[in-house]
Structure 1
Amino acid sequence: MKSNKISWKQGLVIALGVPMLILPNIGYFAGYVGVFSIIVWMLSISQGFLQNIAYGDFALMYPEARGLPGYVQAIFKGKSPEDYDINKFIGGFSAWGYWMAWNPVLAIFSLLIGTYLHGMIPALGSFSEKSISLVAGAVIFTVLIIINRKGLSGGAMIGNILAVVALIPLVVLSIVPIVTGQFQLSNITAVSLFPETWSWDVTHILILLGIMAMAQWSACAWETAAVYAPDYEKPKKDLPKALFFCGLICLVTFVLVQTACVGTLGIQGILEEPYSPMLLMAKMSFGNAGAFVTVIMLMASMILIIQTALLGSSQAMQSMAVEGNLPKVLAETNKYGVPVKAMISIAILNFVLIFIGTPSAIVAGSAMGYVIANGITLFAYFKAKGDQKILAPKWWKYVGLGFCMLNIPLYLAGIFYINKLDYGMAPALIGVLVLFLFVPFWLYARKENTGKKKMLKAGVKTS
């Protein structure tokens, strides 16, 4: 009988798309914190190491649960499946936050693909970046839904192929300027660590907390290597290996990419092309022809992360519906067991996001959900850990509690403030509105499920 277990190397491959999440933030971070943007990634990856040990431990404690949404729903649930109390709401709300974090990745990278295509192909110059992004998103979403409609076999194949090349364009575009001498260390060392206007007042501390919240969305997302802990051949041995090497790869790539951009283009150069600085790097290093090849590879890697987000967010949505936290129509799957209706819903929502948003604005809103999910999950870990020593020692629960309090309220306050600062109160409140859109969905699901149970008790047959 064929084993479904995976090696730690396969667990590592699953998370290889994560370094692509730096792309929406290269220019945004440089604009706010200048050269310190390099250190932001170092700090965030370090946070990822500590948090992901807790998540790996959680995964071994509750092997039947899946991912951050699964852990919280396993800890915070009603006394019985019929109960819709505050515990069940908290579990569902955390899962919704995690879904809100991964779902907009489709729109973010479709917008980036549109930006890169617009800057790379002269014939597209007469079209707006937004219209190119809309077409690219429509094509990519449709193709990926078709590929994945029969389950993981087709999706896993394209995912594995793209994972092999995911890091190549990022690493090559970062190293070549250093080798060719286009990288100037003075762009980093001869300027202030922070912009000249920076001061350590409440406003700038909130900005830094917001930046760190957005960095967490990118640099800590390799929890996928941790949450697959029960699937490893030797979980207690394989998990630390997967975590260490995945974290190491993320540390090197995130720091390398930001350092290369700052050193080659300078802060001002990055700000001239905040959403596609890697295109400038490619043209400087390889000319227009070489840039075309490397950027095509870069966009292939973007499709990898879109694929990952589509699968993850649709499965999260389906699991919430199965748990009774979302309307049951989203729990439906096709004959292959794939939640196609959830996929289509996600694709439509992201198409709307492409139409109304920019990459950094969507990241800021998405990071709000990730902060909520991390905060609640880490508190659930603190609550569940007890005196167990599985992967981490029993006192690691206090590490989890510390990062829980960092996420809520500190990161949450920072990400709300930076949303308001950049885009005004209305867009900031839209992020909060999307977060709390879960409430009417949950109330509808409660009515739907309690009504069905009453009918069953009365002896009425339901479909």
Structure 2
Amino acid sequence: MENKLQRNIDWKQGLSIALGVPLLIMPSIVYFTSYMYAFSILVWAISVGQGFFQNLAYAEMAVDFPDASGLPGYSQKILKSGGNRYSDFIGGFSAWSYWFAWSPILAIFTLSIKDFAVSVMPVLGNYPDKLVTLIIGTLIFFGMHMFNRKGLESGAVVGYILNIVSLLPLIVLAVAPFALGRVDMANITNNWMPADFTLDVKNILVIFGIFGMAQWSACAWETAAVYGPEYKDPKRDVVKALFSCGAICMVIFVLVQTVCIGLLGVDGVINSTEPPILTIAKMTFGSTGGIMSSIMLVAAMLMIIQTGFLGASRAMHSMASTNSLPKIFSRTNEYGVPVNAMISIIILNYGLIMLKSPSAILAASSLGYALANGISLYSYVKYKREKNNKSTKSGKENTKGLRVPRLWDKVIIAFAFVNIPLFLVGLVYLNSLDSGWSSTIVGVGVLALYVPLYKYSEKEKNMTNLTKTG
């Protein structure tokens, strides 16, 4: 069976799949407000801005390594050049961390969809919660599998349809309260930070943790680069898809958080008994409008589930193709789709939805995302310096790839350090405040699974080499 991904999408299709990212704000609106009050608006703006710096580095690597799948492939390509098994292991672990960052999106938003479904159809509350969750999860997981089994080209068609439905409620709900004059800016200016906030060590750790979680949402539009091997023209398509999505994310993340606090107030957001965005829909459009908004937001959540599903499956394919995971995960069907990776992700998320805590799953997943970003950015610094040295020695500037400033490695090393160790330490501390050590234990446990899988893939590799030499 052919295991190579096919080049059959353009930048609009890549953007279409990545446009589910703005919805990642939803699980964190209440959480961030409870810690940061109105300052949470600035947290989103800074975090999306961070994405422009980091994703420019990823765009350069996407163009220079057109056969690598996003963050997983870039780190592996660069670190393998180190020529030792430790570099190979770290590159593979970066890809595994990225996989864990995206995979739980299926469980997180399946649980959210279940909550929306119960609010629209109260009769569902008469049935056991786990049964409702399992039925909804099964419909979503296997629906995604069927829609995407013929490749990104067909999946993007679904993406086009869902895009129209998914972005519309977010945009309308972000703009309508301003247009109707219902946003009270005093709710923001008078509640910028908690009254008892002091810049001590504990709160500094909380800030790093909050920004680590914000990155999971606000920088995730790098997913458009994951499909580098499937773009028809990577040099043009990657950049267009990435930065078009980034601009949209900046507007939506900032406006949605501003409207939630400006309309409901800090206390109203924190004490809301339903998702704040749903409360705003009811206040703006009435009960019927609230139901319609719920339906449209569920469609939007299906969009981000697709983004996570596709991103995670491509990460597994990349790892298996480079001998960092067992070969079974690299197998593709007749359409060039990594179906075994998709099935394994479905199995993982069946387990995660039984945890019934989207925030705990998100917190654990953020550990993986910080690790993946940190290792990838450190890898970029290594690659960029080698690239600059080659240009200096040859006396010629490389004009074949993306034109990124020569000194970009100096900028990126700062963001690499922010991810590892600062965000990691902050996330562990924040998790300990909210759920004891459960989120950290879950995160570390899943990340640690990479060790036995890597060792098995090493045995497979050695057996293959022995067969060839024999």
TM-score normalised to structure 1 length: 0.91
For the residue of structure 2 that corresponds to 1:356, the secondary structure is coil
1:24 paired to 2:27:
yes
Structure 1 gap segments, 5+ residues each: 459-463
The structural deviation recorded for 1:156 is: 2.1
CA distance in 2, matches of 1:334, 1:64: 19
Q: Which residue of 2 aligns with 1:189?
A: 189
CA distance in 1, matches of 2:240, 2:338: 32
Alignment of 1:161-176 (within 5 A): 161-176=161-176
The structural deviation recorded for 1:395 is: 0.3
Q: Which residue of 1 aligns with 2:421?
A: 409
Output one character per residue of 1:18-66: Cα deviation in whole Å (capped at 9) or x when no partner: 1011111111101111111101001101101111111111112222222
CA distance in 2, matches of 1:118, 1:41: 29
Alignment of 1:302-341 (within 5 A): 302-341=301-340
- Say if 1:118 and 1:132, in contact at 8 Å, map to a contact too: no
Q: Which residue of 2 aligns with 1:108?
A: 108
- Say if 1:27 and 1:275, in contact at 8 Å, map to a contact too: no
Amino acid at match of 1:178: F
CA distance in 2, matches of 1:400, 1:231: 26
**1:137/1:370 Cα in 2 relative to 1: closer, same or farther (>3 Å)?**
same
Q: Which residue of 1 aligns with 2:156?
A: 156
**1:168/1:256 Cα in 2 relative to 1: closer, same or farther (>3 Å)?**
same
CA distance in 1, matches of 2:337, 2:367: 28
Amino acid at match of 1:139: L
Q: Which residue of 2 aligns with 1:250?
A: 249
Output one character per residue of 1:354-377: Cα deviation in whole Å (capped at 9) or x when no partner: 111412111111111111111111
Amino acid at match of 2:164: V
The structural deviation recorded for 1:178 is: 2.2
1:429 paired to 2:441:
yes
The structural deviation recorded for 1:201 is: 1.1
The structural deviation recorded for 1:161 is: 1.3
The structural deviation recorded for 1:214 is: 0.7
For the residue of structure 1 that corresponds to 2:442, the secondary structure is helix
CA distance in 1, matches of 2:349, 2:230: 31
CA distance in 2, matches of 1:318, 1:234: 21
Output one character per residue of 1:164-223: Cα deviation in whole Å (capped at 9) or x when no partner: 3321111112222222333222211222x1112322111111111011011111011111
CA distance in 1, matches of 2:146, 2:241: 31
- Say if 2:166 and 2:300, in contact at 8 Å, map to a contact too: yes
The structural deviation recorded for 1:142 is: 1.1
CA distance in 2, matches of 1:44, 1:346: 28
Structure 2 gap segments, 5+ residues each: 1-5, 392-397
Q: Which residue of 1 aligns with 2:383?
A: 384
Single out whichever of 211-220 and 356-365 deviates more from structure 2. Answer: 356-365
- Say if 2:378 and 2:416, in contact at 8 Å, map to a contact too: yes
CA distance in 1, matches of 2:123, 2:157: 33
Q: 2:43 aligns with which of 37, 40, 43?
A: 40
Output one character per residue of 1:213-246: Cα deviation in whole Å (capped at 9) or x when no partner: 1111101111134555687777666655544432
Amino acid at match of 1:102: W
Output one character per residue of 1:99-135: Cα deviation in whole Å (capped at 9) or x when no partner: 0111001001101101111222222233465543332
Single out whichever of 224-233 and 273-282 deviates more from structure 2. Answer: 224-233
**1:319/1:225 Cα in 2 relative to 1: closer, same or farther (>3 Å)?**
closer
Amino acid at match of 1:351: Y
Q: Which residue of 2 aligns with 1:288?
A: 287
Q: Which residue of 2 aligns with 1:419?
A: 431
**1:130/1:34 Cα in 2 relative to 1: closer, same or farther (>3 Å)?**
farther
CA distance in 1, matches of 2:239, 2:325: 35
The alignment covers a number of residue pairs equal to 452
**1:235/1:156 Cα in 2 relative to 1: closer, same or farther (>3 Å)?**
closer
CA distance in 2, matches of 1:340, 1:319: 13
CA distance in 1, matches of 2:333, 2:237: 34
Single out whichever of 3-12 and 146-155 deviates more from structure 2. Answer: 3-12
Single out whichever of 5-14 and 349-358 deviates more from structure 2. Answer: 5-14
TM-score normalised to structure 2 length: 0.90
CA distance in 2, matches of 1:130, 1:178: 39
Single out whichever of 86-95 and 163-172 deviates more from structure 2. Answer: 163-172
Single out whichever of 125-134 and 49-58 deviates more from structure 2. Answer: 125-134
**1:78/1:446 Cα in 2 relative to 1: closer, same or farther (>3 Å)?**
farther
- Say if 2:101 and 2:368, in contact at 8 Å, map to a contact too: yes
CA distance in 2, matches of 1:439, 1:8: 36
Q: Which residue of 2 aligns with 1:125?
A: 125
Q: 2:406 aligns with which of 369, 374, 394?
A: 394
The structural deviation recorded for 1:4 is: 5.5
Q: Which residue of 1 aligns with 2:60?
A: 57
Q: Which residue of 1 aligns with 2:453?
A: 441
CA distance in 1, matches of 2:129, 2:207: 30
CA distance in 1, matches of 2:146, 2:233: 35
The structural deviation recorded for 1:323 is: 1.2
The structural deviation recorded for 1:153 is: 3.9
Output one character per residue of 1:72-119: Cα deviation in whole Å (capped at 9) or x when no partner: 110112677xx7x11110110000011011100100110110111122
CA distance in 1, matches of 2:327, 2:7: 29
CA distance in 1, matches of 2:356, 2:210: 19
- Two-structure CA RMSD over aligned residues (Å): 2.3
- Say if 2:17 and 2:303, in contact at 8 Å, map to a contact too: no
CA distance in 1, matches of 2:317, 2:225: 21
CA distance in 1, matches of 2:422, 2:165: 37
- Say if 1:41 and 1:215, in contact at 8 Å, map to a contact too: yes
CA distance in 2, matches of 1:399, 1:16: 27
Q: Which residue of 2 aligns with 1:461?
A: none
Q: Which residue of 1 aligns with 2:93?
A: 93
Amino acid at match of 1:134: L
- Say if 2:15 and 2:245, in contact at 8 Å, map to a contact too: yes
